[in-house]
Amino acid sequence: MPRTVKDLLIEIRDTTELMVDLAYSAILYDNEDIAEEVLNLEDKTNELVRQLRIVSILAGRRVEEAEMVSSLLQIGSAAQRIGEAAGDIAVLVLRGFKLSKEMINEILLESEETVVRAEVSEDSEIADKTLGEVRLHTRTGMRVIAIKRGFDWIFDPDRDTKVLKGDILFARGDISGVPEFFRIVSCKEIKLADLDFSNKKLEKSVEILIEMKDLSELALDLGYSSILYYNEDIAQEVYYLEEKIDNLKIELQKWILRTAKTLSEDEHPLLIPLLDIAYSSEVIADAAKSIAGIVINRLGIHPIFRDVMREGDEILTIVEVGEGCELDGKTLGEARVETRTGMHIIAIKRDNKWITKPKANTKIFAGDILFAKGTREGEELLKKLCLTALQKQA
């Protein structure tokens, strides 16, 4: 049965986003099974993009249609590059390159979104229930991206996937949701402060790498948002982020060249994955710029794209903070936005200024525009938090 452009775009977007999550999981947990799945998904993405090109070309009969088709193909091409970048990270694992334990701890603790692994305990409340029933994503902000069950794997589980005792869940989300995630899944109390980073020689390099990783993922989310809302202001921010990531890569290269002189020969292999992951982050940022370029160059975008963005595994949304609402004057941490809604606040627009990588101590004010991603249920919860008193009474 022939695939529609809409179906192909939804699958391409969901697949490439999953690939990035799995690629980082593979390198952080040194897992070859996950790395192999990333490469399988890369082949799948290439085939999906090939189908998209064929279907799109057949659909463009007039000049106006051809311009919209051109934009869709630009999105498909960008997604393919994102998949290739994820594949490059996975190949590092298969070639035996590893990050040190200290690097991993630092990335897990300091990244804007982290990846965790937790085993479902005997008395876990989610055992023998589906992901849809337990609403893990909305309750914790952590989305399960893979499940290891004995020697078998379930990649990209959906809301109908049943969780069993002994399953190992790999999940991605905001660092603030990690303690609640472990409490629900493993019945364990964990403290993020227990993680430590002690290799001072590489600390600066890892710090830059984390910044590149976070900003490239933010650029991608904002890139999709820019065409979802066809907003040039958002698109310009993507261009700024892409330039900043380019500068960070140069800074990282300089730092690693200087640091290599102070490391022993046995420590040199630690530098290779840092450089490759930085390169992949730059490729993702370049792809995000290509997507945002549709708006900058005022190209037409097919109306189905809004449906594509609303029907993916995660949605992007923009919400304005109402005066006197529950968030007005509070920090993200005080309001517990992430854990109460499951929505990850990726950026804040305040007047003409952007706040990227907002933290728990970032204060929210009336009139702020929140850029967030998560579940549809979480979106509604976030909107309620941002309602004014009058709006709630209406």
Please give the CATH architecture assigned to the domain spanning 5-100+199-307: Up-down Bundle (1.20)
Q: How far apart are CA 86 and CA 175, in angstroms?
A: 22
Q: How far apart are CA 137 and CA 344, in angstroms?
A: 11
Domain positions in the chain are: 5-100+199-307, 112-194, 314-393
Q: Are both 112-194 and 314-393 of the same fold?
A: yes
Residues in the chain predicted with pLDDT less than 70, given as ranges, are 1-2, 59-65, 191-202, 389-394
Residue that is written with structure tokens 């499940």 in the block: 147
Enter the pTM of the model.
Answer: 0.86
Nearest to 19 by CA among 111, 177, 155: 155
Candidates 3.30.70.1450, 3.40.50.300, 3.30.1360.150, 3.40.710.10; CATH matching 314-393:
3.30.70.1450
Q: Measured between alpha carbons, how far is 329 from 365 in angstroms, rounded to an integer?
A: 5
Q: How far is 205 from 217, CA to CA, in rounded Å?
A: 19
Distance CA 19, CA 8 (A): 16
76: left (phi over 0), alpha (psi -120 to 50) or beta: alpha
pLDDT at 244: 96
CATH number of the domain located at residue range(s) 112-194 in this protein: 3.30.70.1450
Do β-strands 168-174 and 142-149 pair in parallel, antiparallel, or remain unpaired? antiparallel
Report the alpha-carbon distance of residue 269 to residue 96 in Å, rounded: 10
- Strand blocks (E) in the chain: 113-119, 129-130, 142-149, 152-155, 162-163, 168-174, 315-320, 344-350, 353-356, 369-374
Task: Please say whether the beta carbons of 187 and 123 come within 8 A.
Answer: yes
What's at 277, amino acid-wise?
I
The predicted structure's pLDDT at residue 197? 43
Write the CB contacts of 40 (distance below 8 Å, at least 6 apart in sequence): none
Consecutive H or E run containing 375: none
Residue 196 is predicted with a pLDDT of 47
The answer to whether the CB of 222 falls within 8 A of the CB of 292 is yes
